[in-house]
Amino acid sequence: MRQYPIEKYRDIGIIAHIDAGKTTVSERVLFYTGISHKIGEVHEGAAVMDWMEQERERGITITSAATTCFWTSTRDLSRAKDDDEKQIIRKEGEYRINIIDTPGHVDFTVEVERSLRVLDGGVVVFDGVAGVEPQSETVWHQADKYRVPRICFINKLDRMGASFNFSFNSIKERLTPNAIAVQMPIGAEANFEGVIDLIEMKAYFFEGEHGEKITEKEIPADLKSEAEKTRTELIEKVVEKDEALMEKYLAGEEIPANDIRKTLRKATTSTELIPVLCGSALKNKGVQLMLDAVLDYLPSPLDIEEIKPIKGTDPKTEAEIIRQPNDSEPLTALAFKIATDPFVGNLTYFRVYGGVLKKGTYILNSTKGEQERIGRIVRMHSNKREEVEEMYAGDLGAIVGLKNTSTGDTLCDPASPIVLEKITFPEPVISVRIEPKTKADQEKMGIAMRRLAEEDPTFKISTDHETGDTIIGGMGELHLEILVDRMKREFNVEANTGRPQVAYRETIKGEAEAEGKYVRQSGGRGQYGHAWLKVKPLEGGKGFVFVNQIKGGAIPQEFIPAVEKGVKEALDKGVVAGFPMTDVEVALYDGSFHEVDSSEMAFKIAGAMAFQEAAKRAKPILMEPIMKVQVIAPAEFLGDVTGDLNSKRGRIEAMNDRANIKVIDCKVPLSEMFGYATKLRSMTQGRGSFSMEFDHYEEVPGNITQQIVEGKKQ
């Protein structure tokens, strides 16, 4: 049985630039929601906090990929006349908040995007001294891309140099003109005391050891006029979104607080307005009101449906299917993260979009076309795992021990197959050689790498057939560095790595034919293999296609797979500079054989020889990964930044203004982007930032190909 109606769900993420205070805010959220849920149990609150401190000491992250907690609005609770009534209000007004972990580091595009994909709303945390930091912009734009409704929390107002107004203005100027202050601080820096709610027009103070006791007071006299002024700005923006309210307002009527919140909620869930709040997580101020705002303004799975319906396709007919976020729909869920847990092993985190996921049933992994049995389902709380029988639309949890499910797969009712829009994971664009420091590490390294690859679909492992070296591939230098570091920390494997290499590829632009003949007649039994091949280019992304056009038994059937095998091996090392060849069709159309001397081995070699010769004649080219790069820098540095991008073979596609900031969208070859973070920092006195993701492969210009072939360029 469902315990909480879906409109009382909030599936959210806490999004922040590193150091803005995401961990501290998350800890406080878990602490306060822990007290809220268990109220009445003596010292329970302290126990939660103790537990969290222990965890921190042991260095374990307190947030799993999805953590569930509960919250009742403090505004509602404050209406209670006595404890009994409080209990009733608490039960009736309780919401389920599922917090989806978002990475603090924006370089992990894939991590950020997959969490943005499954959450319905976000709390964006800012440092009240720094305001909008360069990298906050990158995350903000990613959230824009996924149309994620947001509220902002300006944190650290207790710090020296903190300023609510400065930070709020930086949000308005650099991120969005639609930000509106729904709170203002009482005091600042060491004298930061509490928060004014501009909708209720009341002051709130946070007392008790962890700020858990909230007292409501009148707004201090010296702040009254400023509060009135800021409130007017707020009301004017809100009434614009609702005609009836606008009429009331123009007629000079007082707008009830509830109406303001209702309209602001609509405007926030449709991403038209962004409420801004404030506080200090470290000093235990404002976090509970931020949780109230999560209930007030961020969408439930029902609201999100209006702006982002749950779409998928029928795996057979490819017809579009829309699912409603309710329990009576056929099961539709998305696996968004695979993690290894030291106690239970393999955990597959999922979100249910429609229907019910039941323990003990068989479901279809429609992405892979395989059935899986749901053994155990767990819901993660801050301090425990709860085993559950069922999960409903809007729920997030983890399945224990799924065998064949990877990140991004759809799990559904076998009777109503649907494949949700995939989270697309690009192929690695960079690789390095890796070897264990000691022989003893060899086996452990293999296990560690496989585990990491299961969790991270953009991390790939391969072997160089010639040298036998292990090669790992990923999405950037930093990505691979972190993975190597995790191997050391989590799996105790020490490894040496080589220099990062761009993952070039080769293909052909023309068509050609060639012959491969492998004949040896020296003593004993001879060798005889002979094949004629035709090669032609395929559309990008099509890979490799082999066509058998042999007629009249020119080559006996049994040797044809050997020719294909030879071609495949030759594809691994292209004819331009030894990089893998792709997007080619190879047709085997003629050849000959010898009754006694022909063998699979001889045909394999003949196939490889013929392919190499044909590829050389078919205008072979080198292809390189081109990255989509967005550089954000103050206008005064524009000349330097664009000049530098041009010298990197960059193509500038758009240049936009955002207040005093220039946003440059461009495409740049990956090989030119090594060390760009440092270069940009020094070019812009630390004020520029950039984001980069893989876009497509493109032909390398002739002169550069020459340098690569001669080994003069990476």
**Contact footprint for ligand GDP (CB under 6 A):** 16, 18-24, 104, 155-156, 158-159, 280-283
| Spatial CB neighbours of 648, under 8 Å, sequence gap ≥ 6 | 668, 669, 672, 673
Q: Which residue has the tokens 């679909």?
A: 457
In angstroms, the CA 39 to CA 34 distance is 8
Q: How many residues does the chain have?
A: 714
Residue placing its CB nearer to ligand GDP in the complex, 19 or 253: 19
Residue placing its CB nearer to ligand GDP in the complex, 23 or 332: 23
Residue 101 and residue 65 in contact, taking contact as beta carbons nearer than 8 Å: yes
Rg (CA), the chain: 30
Structure token pair of residue 291? 């949780």
Nearest distance in Å: CB 286, ligand GDP: 9
Instruction: State which H helix or E strand residue 137 sits in.
Output: helix 134-145
| Spatial CB neighbours of 559, under 8 Å, sequence gap ≥ 6 | 529, 593, 598, 600, 603
Residue placing its CB nearer to ligand GDP in the complex, 19 or 83: 19
Which amino acid, one-letter code, is at 653?
E
Nearest distance in Å: CB 53, ligand GDP: 13
Which amino acid, one-letter code, is at 114?
R
Nearest distance in Å: CB 21, ligand GDP: 3
Residue 587 and residue 550 in contact, taking contact as beta carbons nearer than 8 Å: no
Residue placing its CB nearer to ligand GDP in the complex, 135 or 407: 135
Which amino acid, one-letter code, is at 293?
A
In angstroms, the CA 8 to CA 77 distance is 16
Residue placing its CB nearer to ligand GDP in the complex, 164 or 518: 164
In angstroms, the CA 47 to CA 35 distance is 10
Indicate the DSSP class of residue 131.
Answer: B
Nearest distance in Å: CB 545, ligand GDP: 49
Nearest distance in Å: CB 205, ligand GDP: 16
Residue placing its CB nearer to ligand GDP in the complex, 286 or 500: 286
Instruction: Classify the C-alpha dihedral 350-355-358-363 as positive or negative.
Output: negative
Nearest distance in Å: CB 136, ligand GDP: 11
Residue placing its CB nearer to ligand GDP in the complex, 158 or 197: 158
Residue placing its CB nearer to ligand GDP in the complex, 142 or 599: 142
Residue placing its CB nearer to ligand GDP in the complex, 130 or 260: 130
Nearest distance in Å: CB 182, ligand GDP: 19
Residue 367 and residue 441 in contact, taking contact as beta carbons nearer than 8 Å: no
Biggest CA-to-CA distance, the chain: 109
| Helix ranges, 38-96 (H) | 44-57, 74-77, 83-92
Strand order in the sheet with 150-155: 66-71, 95-100, 9-16, 121-127, 150-155, 274-278, 179-181
For 214-224, letters b (16+ CB in 10 Å) and e give beeeebeeebe
Nearest distance in Å: CB 214, ligand GDP: 17
Which amino acid, one-letter code, is at 362?
Y
**Count of CB atoms situated within 10 Å of the CB of 340:** 13
Nearest distance in Å: CB 280, ligand GDP: 4
Residue placing its CB nearer to ligand GDP in the complex, 104 or 591: 104
In angstroms, the CA 234 to CA 237 distance is 5
Name residue 215's beta-bridge partners: 205
Nearest distance in Å: CB 137, ligand GDP: 16
Nearest distance in Å: CB 26, ligand GDP: 8
Nearest distance in Å: CB 106, ligand GDP: 12
Residue placing its CB nearer to ligand GDP in the complex, 19 or 247: 19
Nearest distance in Å: CB 638, ligand GDP: 30
Residue placing its CB nearer to ligand GDP in the complex, 282 or 601: 282
Separation in Å, CA 634 to CA 166, 561, 610, 649: 17, 60, 56, 22
Residue placing its CB nearer to ligand GDP in the complex, 101 or 456: 101
Nearest to 23 by CA among 58, 53, 50, 61: 61
Name residue 354's beta-bridge partners: 332
In angstroms, the CA 32 to CA 307 distance is 31
Please report, to the nearest 10 degrees, the dihedral formed by the alpha carbons of residues 45, 48, 49, 52 taken in order: -170
Residue placing its CB nearer to ligand GDP in the complex, 123 or 575: 123
Phi-psi region of 131 (alpha: psi -120 to 50; beta: other; left: phi over 0): left
